[in-house]
Amino acid sequence: MGKTKSDIDIEWLKDQCKVRSLREIAKELKISRRAIKSIVIRYRIRCMSKEKRYSYITSKTSNEIDSRWLRQQYINKHRTMRDIADELDVDYACIQRRLKKIGVVTRSPYSYGNQISYPHKAWLVPMLDSLGVKHITSHVLPKMPEQKNFAQPYEIDEYLPDQKVFLELHGKYHEGEKKKFSDARKTQLLKKHYPDHKVVIIWVKDIKSESTINALKSICS
């Protein structure tokens, strides 16, 4: 059974309204959102907008997160911001703000751990791990001057920093004419801005072939 209006601590409610929505508070107390809202109006409790709640949470907790540990979890272990936030029991925005503050370029929310392709997750990542090579999954590069304002920065499937290799995994989607053009443009810009790096493309259809395995071993050696 949920609480009644008279059971709710007003000071507790004031603190909760700074970091949580009325819907979340009502769900915890097992009463209606309308009941919570009536108390908020009655006691003139200030409720923050979603953006301000994120800012408030972040300002309280982000500086407490060790930057070295966070880099290791996000970059070396390829964990998502959501996963790290859940472990630390903080908001997603807190992790996002902290990474930005310490100069880490964040990955797309659809990267490793969410919508990374099956061949990438099931074969390419374990293969690189078995070779003992340092690699960064879904590495986001700084935006290049040639890219339009609304364009997203380029994301590399696997970046091998020690070997200076951009490793791209292409599936059937990349066989279309439009995608071939954008891929060629991406490769051209990568070679222009990173002349000391090599762009290597692996096709999913050849991912388990002996030639692909030998090529990867040669790159990583």
Full 3-state SS string of 82-96 = HHHHHHHCCCHHHHH
- Segment among 24-38, 64-78, 108-122 with least mean pLDDT: 108-122
> What is the rounded average pLDDT of the residues 7-23?
80
Reply yes or no on whether the pLDDT at 199 is more than 80: yes
Q: Is the confidence at residue 66, as pLDDT, over 50? A: yes
Give the model's pLDDT for residue 62. Answer: 64
pLDDT at 110: 42
Determine the 3-state secondary structure of 121 from DSSP: helix
Q: Where are the domains of the chain?
A: 8-47, 51-101, 118-220
Using the structure block, give the residue that is written with the tokens 């609480």: 3
10-19 b/e with 16+ CB inside 10 Å = b? eeebeebbeb
Per cent of the chain over pLDDT 90 is: 12
Tens digits of per-residue pLDDT, 169-191?
A: 888 778 878 788 888 999 999 99
Please state the rounded mean pLDDT for residues 28-44. 84
> How far is residue 67's CA from residue 189's CA, in Å, rounded to a whole number?
32
pLDDT at 187: 92
pLDDT tens, 152-168?
A: 778 888 999 999 999 99
Q: At the topology level of CATH, where does 118-220 sit?
A: Endonuclease; Chain A (3.40.960)
pLDDT in tens, 87-123: 776 767 778 888 888 888 776 554 444 445 666 767 8
More reliable by pLDDT, 61 or 13: 13
Average pLDDT score, the chain = 79
What confidence score (pLDDT) does residue 163 get? 93
Residue 96's φ and ψ, nearest 5 degrees, are -60, -45
CA-CA distance, 108 to 98, in Å (whole number)? 16
Q: What confidence category does residue 49 fall into, taking pLDDT thresholds of 50, 70 and 90?
A: low
Tokens describing residue 154: 């380029």
Q: What confidence score (pLDDT) does residue 196 get?
A: 95
Tell me the whole-structure pTM to 2 decimals: 0.49
Q: pLDDT category, 193, cuts 50, 70, 90?
A: very high
